[in-house]
Amino acid sequence: MSLAIGLGAIAGVGVLGVFFGLRTAPPTLDAIVGTLNRSVDAGSRHGEPPKLSQRVGRSVTAWVGGSSLSTGPRAAVFSSNLAVTGESAETLAFQVVAGGGLGLLTPPLLWIACQVAGAGVPLAVPAVMSVVLVSVGICWPIAVLFGEAKRRRRHFRTVVATFVDMVVLGLAGGVGVEGALFAASQVSPDWAARRLSTALLGARESGRSPWAALGQLGEELGMTELVELSSTLQLAGTEGARVRQSLTARATSLRRHEQAEEESAANAMTERLFLPGALLLIGFLLFIGYPAFSRILGGF
């Protein structure tokens, strides 16, 4: 009993120390410069201090940014997934830390509660559960991020195919390449269309070419379709290529790719439904044949 109470007190003091240590953290130089330049975020616009989640996220991202984890292809994949989902690195870092912390502290606290209640639970059980739950708590936000990024990229591909069709219609009506691109991006209020419109509007205001802005957006979001579209438009804008035929072929290719993905997803769903269908058939046969089997067995 005394051991359980001591472990609980130590765990509580540690949690309180971490909480108050993060709460009373001194402001960083970036935060001071941001305050002087009036470039504060939405949570600090009215002079409010940053929340605990923001502090934890900034601390983790600063540590990751100063290590070797911030370079390489994995870091590029994470940055593109964050860009396409609209999540911030601080939010993801806080979710990972919170999930890992909950997975680490929950089994020992439950073990202490069991010891206080008089249930004899071996110490190896919370240790193994902590290892498993820490892994799950760390990997779960990352898996959710990757799944959401995959879904949004699939939607973005559909929007890009429609966008290219609208550009072709604008070119057929006698509009120039830049005008057709900007007019096609203003048709839909969808989030993907707004990203295209923002990129093209920024290119117009900065004096850059629209295909360069589309290429940069494609690299930022990890969309190879936008990079290829940028290359096609660059050939049309710099070398006078036949842009209408190229864009029509590009739109056809995007639609075929989307159709192939939908067919593969439908086939995968059909294969996954085979096992539930087989179990349902076996249950139906058992339900139908049970009276006959019961009578046969009752006759002996």
Q: State the pLDDT confidence band at 41, using cuts at 50, 70 and 90.
A: very low
Tell me if 279 is assigned to some domain: no
Residue type, 153: R
Tell me if 214 is assigned to some domain: yes
Per-residue model confidence (pLDDT) at position 38: 43
Q: Please tell me whether residues 28 and 71 are part of one structural domain.
A: yes
Least confident of 20-34, 150-164, 180-194, 220-234: 20-34
Tens digit of each residue's pLDDT (9 = 90 or more) over 91-109: 888 888 888 888 888 888 8
- Higher per-residue confidence, 262 vs 41: 262
- Higher per-residue confidence, 119 vs 186: 186
Q: Please tell me whether residues 15 and 144 are part of one structural domain.
A: yes
Tell me if 126 is assigned to some domain: yes
What is the C-alpha separation between 152 and 162, in angstroms, rounded?
15
- Domain boundary (149, 183, 216) is at 149
Tens digit of each residue's pLDDT (9 = 90 or more) over 156-187: 988 888 888 888 888 888 777 788 888 888 88
Closest to 247 (Cα-Cα) out of 260, 235, 259: 235
Burial of 262 from C-beta contacts in 10 A (0-12 / 13-18 / 19+): exposed
Tell me if 213 is assigned to some domain: yes
Our count of domains for the chain comes to 2
pLDDT at residue 45 greater than cutoff 50? no
Q: Please tell me whether residues 111 and 166 are part of one structural domain.
A: no
Per-residue model confidence (pLDDT) at position 143: 92
Per-residue model confidence (pLDDT) at position 253: 83
Q: Please tell me whether residues 211 and 158 are part of one structural domain.
A: yes
- Domain boundary (122, 149, 176) is at 149
pTM for this model (two decimals): 0.68
Tell me if 292 is assigned to some domain: no
Q: Please tell me whether residues 34 and 85 are part of one structural domain.
A: yes
pLDDT at residue 198 greater than cutoff 80? yes
Tell me if 137 is assigned to some domain: yes
Once rounded to an integer, what is the mean pLDDT over residues 235-256?
Answer: 73
Per-residue model confidence (pLDDT) at position 169: 85
How many C-alpha atoms does 164 have within 13 Å on its Cβ side?
A: 27
Domain with 204, as residue range(s), is 152-269
Q: Please tell me whether residues 88 and 137 are part of one structural domain.
A: yes
Per-residue model confidence (pLDDT) at position 44: 42
Q: Please tell me whether residues 104 and 14 are part of one structural domain.
A: yes
